[in-house]
Structure 1
Amino acid sequence: MSKNPWFETVAEAQRRAEKRLPGSVYSALLAGSERGRTIDDNTGAFAELGFAPRVVGHHAQRDLTTTVLGMPSAFPVVISPTGVQAVHPDGEVAIARAAANRGLVMGLSSYASKPVEEVTAANPNTAFQLYWSGSRETMVQRMERARAAGCKALILTLDWSFSNGRDWGSPVIPEKIDLRAMLRLAPDVLPHPGWLWSFARTGRIPDLTTPNLAAPGAAAPTFFGAYGEWMQTTPPTWQDVSWLVEQWGGPLLLKGVSRVDDALRAVDAGVSAISVSNHGGNNLDTTPATIRILPSIAEAVGDRIEVLLDGGVRRGGDVAKALALGARAVMIGRAYLWGLAANGQAGVENVLDILRGGLDSAVLGTGHAAVGELSPDDLVVPEGFTRTLGAPTLGASALGARAIGV
């Protein structure tokens, strides 16, 4: 690692993460499916948008605060839930502490490597993420555990189709870290002594189990065991989504919306918020970048529920562009994982500071006093930039009624 642990950009955090991590671990963070067109478009589309800055009338103080799912946020960035983490021994707990120190909401994956109780202790403003996996009774048990731990919101992720391959190769992920796995992975791991030592000094090895999916009194399943459960679960209907909203009884975000008609159905199902998402390019490849499809969705439902965006956010200017096109906040994943790999909790805080600083500069440069004032007038949007998927032919109420079987 560089003698100076601080870095100036998320791109530098990524470079340091690549240098520090074993190839298989770093490759897992890159993710993407098939050709990787969607992951490339997620990031590239932000660069196609320009700002229309003002030169006079700037505000000496800018208000970046907002609320997300009923929780205060120092600026409009949410930690998106990411699964089993092998980039740092402190994993989600370090991320939760970093988010708490910066006044942000923590999203915790049900596939996380740390128990929900440890994460909420580190950050009281935590939203627990759930897949539609297992029986209804099992899902209720997991929700109630999250509620008892102090989680204040639920994230239901439905945009995962799990492509089995990608053109540049998928990493080998063992079922568990045992002697056989360690011997097989040694050539990949040994050239990265810093990463290896970070685990060795704690007396722990990378944990590939999912403690938040453990049944009462049972051992935590492995990632592949959890994936097998998901594969064997019948996909949900809109009636199932409505049932889950009722069972939780609090703020619930539906993650994975790409179409206007799905956004309208989500409103009628009773969700509090949606995230315009393609699972960071891990869903169906060649799905358009989320920033391209955000405006049509925000226009359709943004006055009734909170609309968030995830996918491709690497700079504070990206956050500002998403807000200008209708998002209440953005969710980040890879960016904070690279920070965690580069420098632990301090690296995550470093990434969050970079995003906050870039956002503040954009609000200043466009002449606003608060993030809520950002609008399309602050951007240069190229002709043909946006995409509208699933434009309904029925009115919203009729479409929602059809969706829930009325």
Structure 2
Amino acid sequence: MANPWAKNPWFETVHEAQRRAKKRLPKSVYSSLVAGTQAGITLKDNTDAFSELGFAPVVVGSQADREFSTTVMGQEISFPVMISPTGVQAVDPDGEVAVARAAAARGTAMGLSSFASHPIEEVTAVNDKVFFQIYWLGTRDEILARAHRAKEAGAKGLIVTTDWVFNVGRDWGSPEIPEKVDFQALLKLAPEIAVKPRYALDWIRGGKVEIPDLTAPNLVHKGEQGPTFFGAYGQWMGTPPPTWDDLQWLREQWDGPFMVKGITRLDDAKRAVDIGASAISVSNHGGNNLDGTPATIRLLGPIAREVGGQVDVLLDGGIRRGSDVAKALALGARAVMIGRAYLWGLGANGQAGVENVLDLMRMGLDGVVMGLGHKSVHDLSRDDLIIPDDFERTFGDG
């Protein structure tokens, strides 16, 4: 089946990327890209909160040339948007490798999930700015072995994700994901796939059908068969959650940049600094964690003011356009990490779709920096924003 967007593959907004991904992907696959938890309160607030912030424009004196480059955990990136780690990117045959190529083409870094469907060696081969994401899964020795493999593969840093409560039930239903994609699973999914022929054809290469991989090859030693996604998830559920002593231990074992992802409290931000973290991500797992947690953009300012001079502070959650990036930077973020936005781009048009999303982020950011009269993204500050009195949230400061 011909690509309906072959004559105009470019999309103008992330919303259009989402629409095209929904049109192309089987229902279960697409549903996994919009998943939240429980009633989706946090999922909705993550995006809606940005609309409560306004800009204070400068109409005369805009800078003709503007600068966007920055550094995150010691890595230079062309603009302050990087790829957040997300697991099992089976929306496209090349999955994480396609995303890594897109990020490299736009000069930015990528977080690679422990639950990625492609080995880290394939990803670092096409992008030399990869941070490997660790879940606290298994024994300390097993966790350390994964970190060592990542280091040997060329990973520049670790991202330790802490924001997860193993509750993914949604009031509007959750997609059924098979334990593994075998003949029985394909038969069950056949009605969905039959009405999405373009998706099915994308998995045919050299006259053979490539079955989407739902295993986690980065949880084992290089070259070994990884567990199924659900097998790994079960092991993760059975592992006691990490303590700050555990994170301190891992930080001491890893001699490179180290990010703690999932920070929403001031006291946790301070503890991350105390254990020697290089960076923190203000994140609620994209609304997939504890429903009712405030939007991350509401929490960012107080946390950045508290620890921004000691670690790189990043924002993860709800970024859909370049103006969102600008608001995060103005509130103290060094950069942002995007998740759903690039996955919709991947689902809509593969690697080119991810590049498209990154281009939209940069273009939108450029327009804001120009409209505020600045020369550089580093000039953005709270003075550029109109912030309602009750906008920000702070907790954990007692």
| TM-score category of the 2 structures, normalised to the smaller one | over 0.9
AA aligned to 2:335 is A
Out of 220, 235, 244, the residue aligned to residue 214 of structure 1 is 220
Q: Does 1:349 align with 2:355?
A: yes
Match 1:271 to one of 266, 270, 277: 277
Q: Provide the residue aligned with 2:145 in structure 1.
A: 141
TM-score between both structures, scaled by the size of structure 1: 0.95
* 1:3-402 alignment, distance < 5 Å: 3-201=7-205, 203-215=209-221, 218-392=224-398
Cα distance in structure 1, aligned partners of 2:220 and 2:273: 32
Tell whether the 8 Å contact from 1:162 to 1:282 is kept in structure 2 after alignment.
no
SS at match of 1:122: coil
Letter in 2 for 1:214: V
Q: How far apart are the structure 2 equivalents of 1:217 and 1:325?
A: 44
**Matched residues in 2 for 1:372 and 1:129: separation?**
27
Tell me by how many angstroms 1:85 deviates: 1.3
Residue type of the alignment partner of 1:300: E
One-letter amino acid of the counterpart of residue 313, structure 2: V
Structure 1 counterpart SS, 2:131: strand
Residues 217/338 of structure 1: CA separation in 2 closer, same or farther (3 Å cut)? closer
Q: Distance in 1 between matches of 2:28 and 2:46?
A: 23
Deviations 1:350-380 (A, max 9, x none): 0000000000111110011000110011011
- Take 1:55 and 1:181, find their aligned partners in 2: how far apart are those partners? 58
Q: How far off its partner does 1:187 sit? A: 1.1
Which 4+ residue blocks in structure 1 deviate beyond 6 angstroms?
none
* Conserved 8 A contact 1:264-1:301: yes
SS across alignment from 1:132: coil
What is the number of residues matched between the two proteins? 392
Contact 1:112-1:210 within 8 A present in 2 as well: yes
| Distance across 2 between alignment mates of 1:190 and 1:390 | 51
**TM-score w.r.t. length of structure 2:** 0.97
- CA distance in 2 between partners of 1:359 and 1:164 (Å): 33
When the two chains are superposed, the root-mean-square deviation of aligned CA atoms in Å is 0.9
> What runs of 5+ residues in structure 1 fail to find an aligned partner?
393-406
TM superposition shift of 1:216:
5.5
Distance of 1:288 and 1:69 partners within structure 2 = 26
Tell me the SS of whatever aligns to 2:134.
Answer: strand
SS state at 1:173 partner: coil
Offset at residue 21 of structure 1 (A): 0.4
Return the offset for 1:153: 0.6
| Paired AA for residue 257 in structure 2 | P
| Letter aligned with residue 222 of structure 1 | T
Q: Secondary structure at the match of 2:203?
A: helix
Give percent identity, aligned residues only: 65
Alpha-carbon shift at residue 215 of structure 1 (Å): 3.8
Task: Confirm or deny: 8 A CA contact 1:13 1:342 kept in the other structure.
Answer: yes
Partner of 1:194: helix, strand, or coil?
helix
CA distance in 2, matches of 1:317, 1:163: 31
Q: Is the 8 A contact 1:208 1:223 kept in 2?
A: yes
The answer to whether the Cα contact below 8 Å between 2:217 and 2:224 also exists between their aligned partners in 1 is: no
Q: SS of the residue aligned with 1:276?
A: strand
State the Cα deviation string for residues 155-183 of structure 1 (Å, max 9, x = none): 00010112141001000000001111011
